């Protein structure tokens, strides 16, 4: 498993303005599966979102941190929630000297990577 800072945005039911987070994920070596905030996301093929929630089917956009522009799609809007532990690394990656409250909301996100639960689910095993 690799651990890295990423941008996560809910696409289902939204038009580039869904709830969004910047935080630490765990991912498979191939990035086919990404774990974040109690959810597991699987790589999607051939639609507007690039991942879907394994348990709910909701579509998400998950990407690395953009260094020179907003992480949202150009037409997107809304505050991005950022894990307090990721602020320093995010600012270093982007060269920002401050986070504008109109663009970012600093929150605490617990490490909750449901790897075992998802493995059991996908293998047809009960809890």
Condensed to tens digits (0 to 9), the pLDDT of residues 48-102 reads 679 999 999 999 999 999 887 678 877 678 899 999 999 999 999 999 999 999 9
At residue 113, the pLDDT reads 84
| Whole-number Cα distances in Å, 32 to 24, 45, 99 | 16, 11, 31
Diameter of the chain by CA atoms? 48
pTM as predicted: 0.88
- Cβ(51)–Cβ(34) under 8 Å? yes
Q: What angle do CA 100, 104, 107 make, to 5 degrees?
A: 130
At residue 122, the pLDDT reads 79
Spatial CB neighbours of 122, under 8 Å, sequence gap ≥ 6: 54
């Amino acid at each position: 498993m690799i651990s890295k800072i990423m941008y996560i945005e809910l696409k289902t039911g939204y038009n580039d303005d869904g709830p969004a987070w910047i935080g630490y994920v765990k991912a498979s070596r191939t990035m086919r599966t990404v774990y974040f905030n109690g959810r597991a996301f699987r790589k999607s093929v051939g639609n507007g979102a690039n991942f879907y929630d394994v348990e709910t089917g909701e579509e998400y956009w998950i990407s690395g941190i953009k260094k020179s522009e907003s992480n949202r799609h150009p037409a997107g809007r809304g505050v991005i929630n950022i894990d307090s532990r990721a602020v320093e690394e995010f600012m270093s990656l982007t060269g920002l000297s401050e986070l504008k409250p109109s663009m970012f909301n600093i929150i605490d996100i617990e490490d909750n990577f449901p790897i075992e639960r998802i493995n059991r689910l996908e293998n047809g095993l009960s809890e």
